[in-house]
Amino acid sequence: MDTIFCERLKDLRIEKNIGQVELANEIKVSKGIISLWENGLREPKLGNLVALAKYFQVSIDYLAGLED
């Protein structure tokens, strides 16, 4: 996954004014995973992308940088 996903995830989280721990709890992953995603060290699985898209009310295409 390129840096667009990392940046969009972090931006969406900050816009919603939540920390990594709260986001992790909401989508049922560890805080460390959120950090790895935001730093581009790991890519989310499809199920996690779906959970993120639902939580932030955006499309998976938006998260992946395929649409604005």
CATH of domain 3-62: 1.10.260.40
- Confidence band, pLDDT 50/70/90 cuts, at residue 26: very high
Q: Residue 9's closest CA among 41, 47, 35? A: 35
- Confidence band, pLDDT 50/70/90 cuts, at residue 2: confident
Task: Determine the Cα–Cα distance for residues 11 and 8; give it in Å rounded to an integer.
Answer: 5
Tell me the mean pLDDT in the region 19-31.
97
In this prediction, residue 68 carries a pLDDT of 84
Domain ranges of the chain: 3-62
Q: Is the pLDDT of residue 5 over 70?
A: yes
Tell me the mean pLDDT in the region 45-55.
97
